[in-house]
């Protein structure tokens, strides 16, 4: 790896992430939360994310030997994107959707997308469909909420307080990234009787790691080729119903 990444080039990415991508991400997450996502929001945000990735590829090439295709293929592993376990090629799909948006349809002869086309079918900008404030990726054998399953988890990797050229180098190498912190209950709970009620409430209404929703999760209606989607609750592996229940009744005793 070349440690002497040009400061100006690193600063371009820093500024792009902090001044364009993150504000746009904040806005997109609000639209997601309020079910107000329209097609133009999804395509704009998709383009903003893809541009950041293009620039990361440009810097990665300078730092090493990555080619665009190989680098983007590694993204899903390198950034260990939280949630969205049913789609293992989110970054490539993001890239393909951006490309099909720009070029009317993907060129089938391009080896870069051939396997994606085989998997999903002909990708065009009609592959995304808007319904009830959500934007779905909808193809004959696939259907899922593109905003929640693809854009949301990719956006979060950029939210990791990048400030310096060194941060950018670490980020491009995948050593630093934002995360939803799914599964990190040790930092949330003290595992003492006084937090038993909170733990019970969280366990009864867990967030879905695939789509980020709570009781409104509709992952079970998604289609992934022969697989039906399902909710993927972020529940604490240490949660033991009876123990927590008895701690809750214990708390009541003390409050008398």
Name residues whose C-beta falls within 8 Å of residue 188's C-beta, 6 or more positions apart in sequence.
none
Residue from 217, 234, 244, 247 that binds Zn ion (CB under 5 A)?
A: 217
Residue from 211, 222, 244, 247 that binds Zn ion (CB under 5 A)?
A: 211
Please tell me the distance from the alpha carbon of residue 79 to that of residue 92, in angstroms, as a whole number.
13
For tokens 């693809």, what's the residue? 150
Q: H-type helices in the chain, by residue range?
A: 7-15, 22-33, 39-63, 68-78, 90-102, 111-120, 146, 152-157, 165-172, 196-204, 241-255
Least distance to Zn ion, CB of residue 206, Å:
10
- 48 touching Zn ion, by CB under 5 A: no
- 219 touching Zn ion, by CB under 5 A: yes
Least distance to Zn ion, CB of residue 85, Å:
11
Smaller CB distance to Zn ion: residue 168 or 211? 211
Helix or strand run (H / E) with residue 143: strand 142-145
In Å, the largest CA–CA distance within the chain is 74
Q: Which residue is nearest to Zn ion (CB)?
A: 208
Please tell me the distance from the alpha carbon of residue 97 to that of residue 214, in angstroms, as a whole number.
27
Stretch that binds Zn ion, among 63-71, 103-111, 114-122, 208-216 (CB under 5 A): 208-216
Smaller CB distance to Zn ion: residue 178 or 206? 206
- 84 touching Zn ion, by CB under 5 A: no
Smaller CB distance to Zn ion: residue 96 or 219? 219
Binding residues for Zn ion, how many (CB under 5 A)?
A: 6
Please tell me the distance from the alpha carbon of residue 211 to that of residue 84, in angstroms, as a whole number.
7
Smaller CB distance to Zn ion: residue 17 or 149? 149
- 210 touching Zn ion, by CB under 5 A: yes
* CA distance readout (Å), 127 to 77, 115, 138, 223: 25, 16, 6, 14
Residue numbers of the site for Zn ion (CB under 5 A)? 208, 210-211, 217, 219, 231
């Amino acid at each position: 790896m070349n440690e002497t990444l040009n400061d100006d080039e690193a600063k371009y990415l820093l500024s792009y992430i902090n001044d364009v991508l993150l504000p746009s991400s904040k806005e997109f997450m609000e639209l997601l939360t309020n079910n107000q996502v329209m097609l133009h929001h999804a395509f704009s945000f998709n383009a903003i994310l893809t541009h950041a990735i293009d620039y990361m590829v440009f810097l990665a090439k300078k730092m090493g030997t990555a080619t665009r295709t190989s680098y983007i293929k590694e993204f899903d592993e390198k950034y260990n994107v939280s949630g969205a376990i049913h789609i293992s090629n989110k970054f490539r799909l993001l890239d393909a959707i951006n490309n099909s948006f720009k070029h009317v349809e993907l060129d089938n002869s391009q080896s870069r997308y051939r396997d994606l086309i085989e998997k999903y079918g002909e990708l065009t900008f009609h592959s995304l469909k808007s319904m009830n404030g959500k934007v779905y990726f909808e193809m004959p054998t696939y259907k899922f909420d593109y905003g929640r399953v693809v854009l949301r988890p990719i956006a979060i990797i950029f939210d990791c307080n990048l400030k310096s050229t060194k941060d950018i180098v670490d980020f491009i190498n995948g050593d630093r990234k934002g995360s939803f912190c799914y599964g990190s209950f040790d930092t949330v709970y003290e595992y003492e009787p006084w937090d038993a009620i909170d733990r019970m409430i969280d366990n009864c209404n867990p967030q879905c790691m695939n789509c980020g929703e709570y009781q409104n999760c509709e992952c079970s209606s998604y289609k992934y080729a022969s697989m039906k989607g399902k909710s993927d609750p972020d529940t604490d592996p240490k949660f033991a119903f009876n123990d927590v229940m008895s701690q809750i009744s214990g708390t009541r005793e003390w409050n008398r």
